[in-house]
Structure 1
Amino acid sequence: MEVIKFGADDLENRLASDPSRAELLPFGAILVNQQGDVLRFNHVESGISGRHIGDVVGKNFFNDVAPCAKGQIFYNHFFRAVAEGQVNTMFDYQFDYKMTATNVRIHMKSADASRGIWIFIKRV
């Protein structure tokens, strides 16, 4: 079994050919489109957030899934990625929407934002 580390440089490329590989990751993975709609939400993230995959896919990440991420830091990184066409940034954050406050490290990554932006999440 291939071990993929959090923060790996080519992580989005490894998942581009087969997004279902996100289920093999040992950390949370969410794929969103340029509007922030959730395209994929892996089981690890479901466990961290307590949200069921079927209740999240198709919803807007910033409005419906994690409105707490609509603040300046997270939201600005996302929309900068959309404007610039790609992103590779890592920052610490705290999720607290409909869950116990959880400190996480976010790795937002895309080779091409038009194909989706991955939000990788690891508890810290």
Structure 2
Amino acid sequence: MFDWLSTATAAELDSLPFGVISMSLDATVEHYNAMEGKLAGLTPGRVVGRNFFTSVAPCMNNAMVAGRFAEEAEIDAIIDYVLTLRMAPQRVKLRLLKRQDAKRMYVVVERRS
């Protein structure tokens, strides 16, 4: 999935039926796809250029998510998670993606019923 995400256009990312957040290695949001914006109630224009973990999703600023991106050179992990910011607690699956030789890292968010 990392390879596809790293070469996808903004339109391709926006057409996905799940959330995708693309960040630089310092966690600055570079792309916040349309589905994530719709489900989280945040417009991409409001979050692009901001630090994902401190300004956009502080509920992920912990050892399970932000800590892994900071400490691990490479990640491809799926974790069960509960989002709590700006909404009632919502169960999701997060896929954390990072490669040592890449300039971006990703959080993929799949909402669960």
TM-score by length of 2: 0.88
Does the CA-based 8 Å contact 1:33-1:114 persist in structure 2? no
Calculate the aligned-residue CA RMSD, in Å.
1.5
Cα deviation code 1:39-88 (max 9, x no counterpart): 0000110111111110010010111001111122112221123xx2x211
Distance 1:32 1:47, change over 3 A: same
Equivalent residue number for residue 44 of structure 2: 53
Q: Which runs of 5+ in 1 are unaligned?
A: 1-10
* Residues 19 and 113 of structure 1, relative CA distance in 2, 3 Å threshold: farther
- Out of 2, 15, 23, which is 1:12 matched to? 2
CA contact (8 A) 1:90 1:108 kept: yes
Q: Is the strand fraction higher in 1 or 2?
A: 2
Q: What TM-score, normalized by structure 1, do the two folds share? A: 0.81
Select 1:36's aligned residue among 27, 35, 38: 27
Q: Larger helix proportion, structure 1 or 2?
A: 1
Shift of 1:116: 0.4
Separation in 1, partners of 2:33, 2:79: 20
Report % sequence identity: 24
Structure 2 runs not aligned, ≥5 long? none
Work out the CA distance in 2 between the residues paired with 1:75 and 1:102.
Answer: 19
> What is residue 116 of structure 1 aligned with on the other side?
104
Aligned-residue offset at 1:112: 4.2
Answer yes or no: is the 8 Å Cα contact 1:50–1:99 preserved in 2.
no
Contact 1:36 1:60 (8 Å CA) reproduced: yes
Q: How many residues get paired?
A: 111
1:87 maps onto 2:75 in alignment: yes
Instruction: Tell me if 1:73 matches 2:64.
Output: yes
